[in-house]
Structure 1
Amino acid sequence: MSPTQRLAQAINARPAELLAVLCGFGLFFCLFSGYFMLRPIREAMGIRGGVDNLQWLFTATFLVMLTAVPLFAWLNSTVARARYIDWVYGFFILNLLAFAALFQRSGDDIWVARVFYVWISVYNLFVVSVAWSLMADVFDSAQAKRLFAFIAAGASCGGLAGPALGALLIERLGQSGLILLAALLLGMAILAKQQLMAWRAIGGAGRPGAPPSESPRQPVLGNPFSGLTRVLASPYLLGISAFVILLATASTFLYFEQARLVAQTFTERNEQIRVFGLIDFSVQALSLLAQLFITGRIAQRFGIRALLAGVPLLVCLGFIGLALAPTFAMLAALMIVRRVGEYAFVRPGREMLFAPLDAESKYKAKNFIDTVVYRAGDAVSAWAKALLDMLANGVLIAAVAGALCAATWGALGWYLGGRREQACPGPRGQNHP
């Protein structure tokens, strides 16, 4: 057996798929390396603006999403699908260059910090959402089930490399230099995307003999608001939307508690950045191990249901533990479990739900769910958390509410996984759930 065959076997791929899988891995590595160099800065800026003001930043992010999504959907209907990511990533590269100049001039301004916090929250969701749209477009359903876990491992490797690069280079490059490096990595992601689209016609969803699919040389059908209308017309997509809202609610409750406890426990900004960086490193290391050795095998043996329902159950139990022992150590452990579970199991499983769908659902409806719906869940749950904190000063009520949300989240994940398995029972299944 050749080294290429051994490597393909190790990552659950066919030899002819190896180059494409490595390109997908590399694309996510570039995206997450750049993002995680900047994430600790964002978290510290969020605290600097005041923990009590976080719900306003979440609301501002949602409002920006409402404006941005129709514009990107219009672009998706105007340019060829094969070139859409070039335009999106090119736009964000220009944004990064602008922020590098702004930080060089007035990086300590509190409004610059708030704008950057909102912008990077929008940026991260958009670049990751369209990257997964690309993967659902390039690989067919059977390939997605085998390969998405390893491709997602590129995100975890990037999540490990990003904080390390940031720590090594911050003294030499400063904040502006790290932003420029993130722009360079985003440009490298465009190169990986070009290789993936070229392979799609040879060995992917567009190969000879594959189930029929729309040509990537054409724009995606629909208008700037067809993502919304597509979701409203499909019970399946509405179910995915509800799943994302519940995920966002559990995440937001934990995020607010993390910000509050970090602000209470660590008073210095550098200490806060160090704590956030340590949590990020732990999450990415554990996620990588799970993605390489566990996720794909669980998906093949137990199905997508196990990916979508198992993590919410653990989060539910974690919220109960937090209610009983509201300490920073318990919160940090639960935060790590939630994020590892999302990156290693929930996110690959969630993306598998889109693999059998048409291009309009993969790009416009999916982008609407990943951005507007997700940030709407963030904003609503942020205000709900603020209301709970007003009613009772402590973690107990919030933890109980989080446990109920996580239980509902898990039940919905079990249902959606079942729908996806029924729609695509075999390697060639391409039916709409």
Structure 2
Amino acid sequence: MVVPFAARTAALINARPGELRAALAGFGLFFCLFTGYFMLRPIRESMGIQGGVDNLQWLFTATFFAMLLAVPLFAWLNSKVPRIHYIDWVYGFFCLNLLLFAGLFFVLRDSIWLARVFYVWISVYNLFVVSVAWSLMADVFDAPQARRLFAFIAAGASVGGLVGPALSALLVDLLGQFGLMLLAALLLAAAVAIKHFLMAWRDELGAGRPGAEHAESPRRPVAGNPFSGLTRVLGSSYLLGIAAFVLLLTTASTFLYFEQARLVAELFPDRAEQVRVFGAIDFVV
């Protein structure tokens, strides 16, 4: 007896009846997000060089202060807007941002200050787009489903992390930075469409189905205040340890990042070539 392809796939990823579509949708959502981001990242790196390699430390400082402003703001919004709509607001906001940047770069192609703003903005974009996606998954799947399916869903990010820089390197000459930004906006819009499918599935077969483990309703905002996460980290030695690890890792990798930017700036003066080089580095690494 020949086992249908869908049944074999479900068995391979440990999905139970009715879960395969949602698992594939979750995979697709992360694939879209990470493909879009990793298409944009080589552009960001070339813009960092455009703003001056010696000024990269100031762009890092600007990114730090932008995060200090953005994190409490988005946390406050999350405490006011029902979670079922929050992702629409966040992704819609960043999608409009991408369209705005695409238009501005089409007109002001060589603007150094615009390049610097985009460099800072893309870090904020990456933080919130990814974190909001995982909060969506926590709402859609109950705990047993999450334990079985999240590994496969997270693989969508890995595949997107390979496809994104490859597309950036291959398409930068054809589409230019303007076209790549439009493509990233399209992928973000696709992620919103997938989100709506997942929320409908949640009520039928996911965390909102009758008999599922207790889960908070996504139709209510997140409880707490914008600084609840900080107080929780400060009150947990485990979370403080993770924070210290991330701090040390980021500090070490920053030195390597600056040297990489300096080498690319010296060896590849053409901006499109820089995008291809950074895309190749992201693909390999």
Give yes or no for the alignment of 1:122 onto 2:124.
Answer: yes
Q: Which residue of 1 aligns with 2:92?
A: 90
Percent identity for Structure 1 against Structure 2: 75
Distance change >3 Å, CA 29–CA 259, structure 1 → 2: same
What amino acid does structure 2 have at the position aligned with 1:113? A
Q: Which residue of 2 aligns with 1:24?
A: 26
Match 1:60 to one of 59, 62, 69: 62
Distance 1:205 1:190 in 2: 19
Match 2:7 to one of 1, 5, 8: 5
CA offset digits 1:28-69 (Å, max 9, x no partner): 111122222221111111122222221211111110111111
For the 8 Å contact 1:100–1:180, the answer to whether it is kept is yes
Match 2:141 to one of 139, 142, 149: 139
CA offset digits 1:316-357 (Å, max 9, x no partner): xxxxxxxxxxxxxxxxxxxx2xxxxxxxxxxxxxxxxxxxxx
What amino acid does structure 2 have at the position aligned with 1:224? P
Match 1:194 to one of 192, 196, 205: 196
Q: Report how far residue 17 of structure 1 moved.
A: 1.6
Q: Which residue of 2 aligns with 1:245?
A: 247
Distance change >3 Å, CA 17–CA 248, structure 1 → 2: farther
Q: CA RMSD in A?
A: 2.2
Q: Report how far residue 265 of structure 1 moved.
A: 4.4
For the 8 Å contact 2:172–2:272, the answer to whether it is kept is no
Which blocks of at least 5 consecutive residues in structure 1 are unaligned?
Answer: 283-335, 337-433
What amino acid does structure 1 have at the position aligned with 2:70? A
What amino acid does structure 2 have at the position aligned with 1:158? G
Distance change >3 Å, CA 2–CA 24, structure 1 → 2: same
Distance 1:281 1:189 in 2: 22
Distance 2:248 2:142 in 1: 28
Distance 2:95 2:59 in 1: 23
For the 8 Å contact 1:4–1:15, the answer to whether it is kept is no
**Matched residue of 1:211: which SS?**
coil
**Matched residue of 2:214: which SS?**
coil
CA offset digits 1:296-323 (Å, max 9, x no partner): xxxxxxxxxxxxxxxxxxxxxxxxxxxx
What amino acid does structure 2 have at the position aligned with 1:213? A
Distance change >3 Å, CA 25–CA 250, structure 1 → 2: farther
For the 8 Å contact 2:168–2:276, the answer to whether it is kept is no
Distance change >3 Å, CA 54–CA 206, structure 1 → 2: same
For the 8 Å contact 2:33–2:157, the answer to whether it is kept is yes
Q: Which residue of 2 aligns with 1:415?
A: none
For the 8 Å contact 1:21–1:151, the answer to whether it is kept is yes
Q: Which residue of 2 aligns with 1:224?
A: 226
Q: Which residue of 1 aligns with 2:280?
A: 278
Comparing 196-205 with 60-69, greater Cα deviation is found at 196-205
Distance change >3 Å, CA 179–CA 154, structure 1 → 2: same
Q: Report how far residue 169 of structure 1 moved.
A: 4.0
Distance change >3 Å, CA 81–CA 22, structure 1 → 2: same
Distance change >3 Å, CA 118–CA 198, structure 1 → 2: same
Distance 2:174 2:82 in 1: 41
What amino acid does structure 1 have at the position aligned with 2:15? A
Q: Report how far residue 203 of structure 1 moved.
A: 3.1
Distance change >3 Å, CA 128–CA 94, structure 1 → 2: same
CA offset digits 1:344-371 (Å, max 9, x no partner): xxxxxxxxxxxxxxxxxxxxxxxxxxxx
Distance 2:193 2:12 in 1: 25
What amino acid does structure 2 have at the position aligned with 1:143? Q
Q: Which residue of 2 aligns with 1:170?
A: 172
For the 8 Å contact 1:28–1:151, the answer to whether it is kept is yes
Calculate the TM-score normalised by the size of structure 2: 0.89
Q: Report how far residue 268 of structure 1 moved.
A: 4.2
CA offset digits 1:250-304 (Å, max 9, x no partner): 432332232233334444444432221112222xxxxxxxxxxxxxxxxxxxxxx
Q: Report how far residue 138 of structure 1 moved.
A: 2.4
Match 1:73 to one of 72, 75, 94: 75
Distance 1:138 1:240 in 2: 26
For the 8 Å contact 2:169–2:280, the answer to whether it is kept is no
Distance 2:244 2:215 in 1: 28
For the 8 Å contact 1:26–1:154, the answer to whether it is kept is yes
Q: Which residue of 2 aligns with 1:109?
A: 111
Distance 1:111 1:260 in 2: 19
What amino acid does structure 2 have at the position aligned with 1:233? G
Which blocks of at least 5 consecutive residues in structure 2 are unaligned?
Answer: none
Distance change >3 Å, CA 220–CA 112, structure 1 → 2: same
For the 8 Å contact 2:99–2:185, the answer to whether it is kept is yes
Distance 1:155 1:204 in 2: 22
The count of corresponding residues between Structure 1 and Structure 2 is 283
